[in-house]
A and B are shown apart, each in its own frame.
Chain A
Amino acid sequence: MHSLPAVALALAAVVDLSGATVDPRPGAGAGPAVVVFVRTDCPVSNRYAPELRRLREQFSARGISFWLVYPDRAETPSAIRRHQSDFGFGYRALRDPQHELVQATRATVTPEAAVFVAAASGPQMVYRGRIDDRYVDFGRSRAAPTRRDLREVLEALAQGVPVTPRTTVAIGCSIPPLE
């Protein structure tokens, strides 16, 4: 993971909806954590709400924690609460107004997932990319995915199988740069 030194950086400005600072990445001894970047108005990430909910229901009992990260500082806590209740993700929601997690993961679009595990040197990112391969490009999608990348990673982690870090290209709404 030398290519991603930013991972080790401390997060100072990632906050939950009450404004409290939160680092979703697992500390020593904690289970894996999944963060998924979303927006309230991104139709692609919204369409994944049912699949994201299923992943949480299936894997949170197996020691994996789930977080949604809203990287657009213009999305207010109240808009995010409404989004949570409309789509019923059931994830804990974080805001990343300084793009600390965006930079730490190098996520570029919503929805894009990153999976962290605890390691001796600190949290290690073992996956970043698409949830599955349903979207191939804007306006090009399959009726059903043929590869469920995020689920595969979580299955392996839940079974204690070591995961080789990898990335995939996610399709979705560009995460706007900081102004």
Chain B
Amino acid sequence: MLLAGAVGCGRARSDQPASAPPPSVTFNQQVAPIVLRHCAPCHRPGEAGPFSLLTYRDVRKRADQIARVTASRYMPPWPPEPGYGSFVGERRLPDDDVALLQRWVREGAPEGTGAPPSPPPQGEGWQLGRPDLVVQMKETYTVPAEGTDVFRNFVLPAPVKGTRYVRALELRPGDKRVVHHANILLDPTGSARRRDARDPGPGFAGMDVEMESDRFEPDSHFLFWKPGTAAVSEPAGMAWTLDEGTDLVLNMHFQPSGKPEPIRPEVGLYFTDEPPTRFPMLLQLEHDGAIDISPGDSHFVIGDHYDLPVDVEVLGVYPHAHYLGKDVQGFAILPDGTKKWLIWIRDWDFAWQAVYRFARPLFLPRGSRVEMRIAYDNSAGNVRNPSDPPRRVVAGNRSTDEMGHMWIQVLPRQKEDRWALQEAYMRRRLEKYPGDFVAHANLAAVLEERGRLEEAIAEYRQALRARPRSAPALNNLGAALQASGRLEEAVARYRDALRAEPDYGNARHNLGGALVLQGAFAEALPFLREDVRARPDDATARNNLGGALLATGHLDEAIRELRHAVDGEPRSLEAHYNLGRALAARGRLNEALEQLEQALRIAPGDRDAGQALAELKAKLGVN
């Protein structure tokens, strides 16, 4: 029976045309939806893909190649291993779709009947609509026609007044076929601008760029661009802060195309009036100090870990290594021992590095350990090895150097938790790098922020042991000393900072202010005047100068400065008080009255202002 059945079955099949495949896979029915969804976002005019994949003709022409690169998973580019973290905008092609494409090509890539779905409409111009502010590079940079990849950093001053809250940023990088990815960093200190000035041509070279900062304002947002991703708006309540005087630094990766390519990126900023209510923070796992890879070593591993001092939600992850990177892992071990994956990239490819945002925030309770492990291949077998023959490789920001970083964006329950995160982060850094300047200086800043002045002062002193002439550290030590009531020592440190860096504005500002407090008005004047020249819109600088001018009898100049001060900061008690006194001294009693009354409206119980007002009223004969 069995045999007969089998034969019968065979016969039944052979009744049909032997070569006829089952209902065929066609472009119009099955293939177009896959291609339009997964390929067309980049493979369309104006986007990064070198050719379009929108119509049957487009796709038919490339059918063999599409079958090949999807099977090898070169396209669509999506390096993370499935099942080890779930991300927004996942581009990985499902296995079924890969199989379908293979079958379609094998069967002759038929078009089929019916109409294919139409490509999604392509937005013109800015994806997020007209930006509130567009910042464009002043000059054009030309990517050379050939050679290895180009890494360049461009400084774009952001012309904002005061503080703005940014709800979205969109980068239009120029020809997307040449720009491979871009990071946008914020530089409040002008340090990138100074590097730019030292490097000929637009921008300055370097694969990685780190910003100097002399206060506790942790990086909080990933500002990253890669081809084919939609511009993102920050979640509600998570706008980031852009202060006047801040530069945007574009850290860009270009791939030469065969001809010189002029590039002039522009950044669109979208503001909101809503100040942020949720404060994420970027933490960096790294162990660059451990990178020392012998030539020929095909499996060199570094790792780092960080113990969370508070509950957080992980919002995103950004792994980073250069050309020797091979296997990149990020995961968390919860207090109960459970392992939760953040990301695993088994075949690291520098060219496709990206920021990955979690589809759902990943909750990690306090006490969880976040870990990274990165393996490198410095053998000749790694075709991406930039050195031939391989050579010893240490950390650095040239393409022949290596790095091992994993940034994670965490959202703690409350703003103040960031201090605990930062403190733990810097203490971990000191475990890795005892005596490290950056760690001591940042630890000091966060301790100062948390009101632990004596500990902060001790940490600043440690930082200065590593870099005795660091103007920011000297200045910050001064500020901490001043805050703890040691004005004389503070003045000495501000002077040290200015000796180390005569143009250092923060130290000049602080020294001027401290000398005023000491009553050394005449001595303070030159610092205060220079301070106002450097930051004409800073109301505090104007007020300090006005106060010193008043004290030294320069009444007209004092009134001018103090007018600026009250205009710039209408809620400043001191500015109104000083202006009132200056006007009174000049005999402009009615105007003085107005200012002193305003001062008392701001601070009803202020004794100095009350006394000055009483004296003035006595003089005017009013009450």
Contact = CB atoms under 8 A, between A and B. Distances in A.
A110 to B, nearest CB: 11
A2 interface: no
A50 B146 CA distance: 7
A43 B257 contact: yes
A47 B258 CA distance: 4
Interface residues of A, number: 30
B405 to A, nearest CB: 21
Interface stretch (A27-35, A122-130, A139-147): A139-147
B62 A143 contact: no
Interface in A21-56: 41-43, 45-51
B257 A46 contact: yes
B64 interface: yes
Contact of A87 (B148, B258, B323): B258
B349 interface: yes
Given A141-B383, A143-B386, A47 B256 contact: yes
A43 B399 CA distance: 22
B177 interface: yes
A47 B386 contact: no
A42 B386 CA distance: 24
A165 interface: no
Contacts of B145: 49-50
A173 interface: yes
Given A136-B383, A176-B61, A179-B60, A50 B50 contact: no
A179 to B, nearest CB: 7
B534 interface: no
Given A144-B388, A146-B388, A50 B62 contact: no
A173 B63 CA distance: 11
Contacts of B386: 143
Contact of A88 (B65, B257, B259, B387): B259
A148 to B, nearest CB: 13
B146 A140 contact: no
A174 to B, nearest CB: 4
A175 to B, nearest CB: 9
A142 B259 contact: no
Contacts of B384: 140-143
A86 B383 contact: no
Label chain B's interface by main secondary structure: loop
A141 B177 CA distance: 17
Contacts, number: 75
Interface residues on B, range: 20 to 34
A72 interface: yes
A142 B387 CA distance: 9
Contacts of B63: 176
Nearest to B400: A143
Contacts of B256: 47
Contact of A49 (B177, B259, B323, B349): B259
Interface in B61-77: 61-65, 68-69, 72, 74-75, 77
Nearest to B64: A174
B351 interface: yes
Contacts of A141: 383-384
A110 B60 CA distance: 17
B51 interface: yes
Contact of B74 (A41, A72, A138, A144): A138
Interface in A160-175: 173-174
A51 B145 CA distance: 10
Contacts of B323: 143
Contacts of A139: 74, 77, 349, 351
B72 A51 contact: no
B258 A140 contact: no
B400 to A, nearest CB: 8
B146 A143 contact: no
B144 to A, nearest CB: 9
Given A72-B61, A139-B351, A176-B62, A50 B258 contact: yes
A47 B399 CA distance: 19
Contacts of A144: 148, 388
Contact of B51 (A41, A47, A88, A138): A41
B50 A47 contact: no
Nearest to B388: A146
Contacts of B51: 41-42
Contacts of A50: 145-146, 258
Nearest to B257: A46
Contacts of A142: 383-385, 388
Interface string B137-151: 000000001101000
B583 to A, nearest CB: 69
A47 B72 contact: no
A146 to B, nearest CB: 6
Interface in A88-126: 88
Contacts of B351: 139
A138 B388 contact: no
Among B65, B385, B387, chain A packs the most CB atoms within 10 A around the CB of B65
Contacts of A176: 60-64
Contacts of A140: 383-384
Contact of A47 (B61, B257, B383, B385): B257
Given A51-B146, A144-B148, A146-B388, A138 B50 contact: no
A143 B388 contact: yes
Nearest to B399: A143
A174 B50 contact: no
Nearest to B259: A87
Contacts of B387: 143
Nearest to A41: B51
A75 B413 CA distance: 59
Contacts of A86: 259
Given A46-B257, A46-B258, A49-B259, A143 B65 contact: no
Given A139-B74, A139-B351, A142-B388, A49 B383 contact: no
A72 B399 CA distance: 37
B388 A49 contact: no
Contacts of A43: 50, 177, 257-258
A72 B490 CA distance: 75
Nearest to B177: A43
Interface in B51-98: 51, 60-65, 68-69, 72, 74-75, 77
B72 A49 contact: no
A179 B74 CA distance: 26
19 contacts: A42-B51, A43-B258, A46-B258, A46-B259, A50-B146, A50-B258, A138-B72, A140-B383, A140-B384, A141-B384, A142-B384, A143-B385, A143-B387, A144-B388, A174-B64, A174-B65, A174-B68, A176-B61, A177-B64
List of 6 A-B pairs having minimum Cβ-Cβ separation, nearest first: A46-B258, A49-B258, A174-B65, A176-B61, A50-B146, A143-B386
Given A46-B259, A141-B383, A143-B388, 19 more contacts: A41-B50, A46-B257, A47-B258, A50-B145, A72-B61, A86-B259, A136-B383, A137-B74, A138-B68, A138-B72, A138-B75, A142-B388, A143-B323, A144-B148, A144-B388, A146-B388, A173-B62, A176-B64, A177-B64
